[in-house]
Structure 1
Amino acid sequence: MRRLLDCFYAPYAALVLVLLIPPVCLAVILGPTLALRRETGRLAVRLMLLCIGVPLRVRGLQHLPAGSNLVVCNHASYLDGIVLTAVLPRHYSFVVQDGAGRWPLVGQCLSRMGVVFVNRSDSRAGAAATRSLMRKLHAGEALTVFAEGTFEDEAGLLPFKLGAFLMAARCGAPVVPAAIRGSRRLYGGGRKLPRWQPLEIHIAPPLHPEAGDHRTVAVRLRERVREQVLRLCGEPDRDAAEALEQAA
């Protein structure tokens, strides 16, 4: 029955998304203020999920602190960013790889929503982006980061990059562990078409950086946050699995 459902659902959901995404992007791009553009994006994502029949359950919103903080989430699908857009308050800015900024129409939409693009292959550009992000944290803004930096077809949580945690340590900003469940099956695993799957987002209480050397604090904070994200996401630990393979 599940396979039969997927056969009918996949083309329907794909058609709905193809029809809705362009006008949504245009509505966001034409919005006169950042607040309005972000609110348009939030409502549009919820509308799209409703139209394709995907339930969205959120737990732990009360854990989001006021003021400067970083939400660190697992990454399993191209949908993760837009799903979090529908859930997090509109004052959160998203940090994504700069390649997304070159996507036709979608890239301009992301830019107009205040997404911060980071080029990890260019050390100078990456350093400039980091300084810009730290200024945002010092100014009391909130950021959302996918600390794995990418996602793969195979299920499992990848190692976390250190950058977000160094920023948190230097700025004294709390880090909020979060996890998305269901997005890999909905539109991941290398598939060309979506499959029906409910979505869940779990948000844990914030973790605060300790006092001490920034790099040492960042490494410890990364470990603590990753433990929480691993517990919440329900996927295997790819970092531990790869370490065992190398040892064998």
Structure 2
Amino acid sequence: MILVRLLDRLYGAVASLIFAVAILGVVSPLVILGPTLPIRRWFGRHGVRLSLLCIGVPLQVSGRDRVPATPCIAVANHASYIDGIVLTSALPANFTFVVQDGAAEWPYVGYVLRRMGVTFVNRNSAREGAAQTRALIRRVEEGASLAIFAEGTFEPDPGLLSFKKGAFLIAARAGVPVLPVGIRGTRRLYGGHSRLPHWSRVDIDILPPIPASPDALQLRDAARDAVLRVCGEPDVAARTAVLAEAEA
């Protein structure tokens, strides 16, 4: 057992260094220097896969054939800081990621995200958020596909949080399907309470799209149920609701 822990720590230290150098020192400069958005996204998608391979992490993606040829909203669970780049490598390059605006101010990383065509939204201002939502609806109506982490954030402890309504309002108003995506393995790899990575395979399940509907709440609940079935994490939202009801 002691040897296992020592090997785990050794892997974490070495993998952390290799992954940081690969992503920040190789992939990110290529993204910054890419002359067009499609080229920059190509570097980003394939660079992430190569970076994971450099630390011995297999990335398995199932259900790519389920991605609609028409615009849609992909929604995924969120368990780690690397979920964004992992999902980038799994979805087609035409997907635009929607991220909290605080990330735009991160040194270096924020600039890389902007070069990848990420759209930033302000969840702290109701007025600005509403305006941004309307702008996203127009973009989807014009043919864009979006990728959103519907929980809005993640916690160190395992569990699927409640889904925010924003992604599903966009889908309902734009009249496009919702594409649920389940991510497994990233919490152990680069999440939880640990500062170092732990080896884990990463699996991404692209699930059958949920047909367009004007009912945003129905879309939200159906998407969350689908993600919950494959993400391998407990239903924190349901547990919290039960405890609140018991205390009432």
Paired residues for 1:43-192 under 5 Å: 43-192=46-195
CA distance in 1, matches of 2:44, 2:162: 30
Q: TM-score normalised to the size of structure 2?
A: 0.95
**Deviation at residue 183 of structure 1 after TM alignment:** 0.3
**Deviation at residue 190 of structure 1 after TM alignment:** 2.6
SS in 2 for 1:177: strand
Tell me if structure 2 keeps the 8 A contact 1:172–1:208.
no
The alignment covers a number of residue pairs equal to 243
Tell me if structure 1 keeps the 8 A contact 2:19–2:52.
no
Which position in structure 2 is the counterpart of 1:5?
Answer: 7
Q: In the alignment, does 2:28 pair up with 1:30?
A: no
CA distance in 2, matches of 1:4, 1:16: 18
Residue 120 of structure 2 aligns to which amino acid in structure 1?
A: F
CA distance in 1, matches of 2:20, 2:229: 34
Mean CA deviation greater in 82-91 or 21-30: 21-30
Q: Hey, which bits of structure 1, 4+ residues long, moved more than 2 A? A: 1-5
SS in 2 for 1:75: coil
Q: TM-score normalised to the size of structure 1?
A: 0.95
Cα shift readout 1:37-86 (whole Å, capped 9, x = no counterpart) = 00010111011101011001111111100121011100000010000111
Residue 170 of structure 1 aligns to which amino acid in structure 2?
A: R
**Deviation at residue 132 of structure 1 after TM alignment:** 2.0
Which position in structure 1 is the counterpart of 2:19?
Answer: 17
**Over aligned residue pairs, what C-alpha RMSD do you find?**
1.1
Q: State, as a whole percentage, how many aligned pairs show the same letter.
A: 55
Cα shift readout 1:191-210 (whole Å, capped 9, x = no counterpart) = 21111000000011100133
Which position in structure 1 is the counterpart of 2:229?
Answer: 231
**Deviation at residue 126 of structure 1 after TM alignment:** 1.2
CA distance in 2, matches of 1:247, 1:221: 25
Q: In the alignment, does 2:219 pair up with 1:221?
A: yes
Residue 79 of structure 1 aligns to which amino acid in structure 2?
A: I
Gaps of 5+ in 1: none
Gaps of 5+ in 2: none
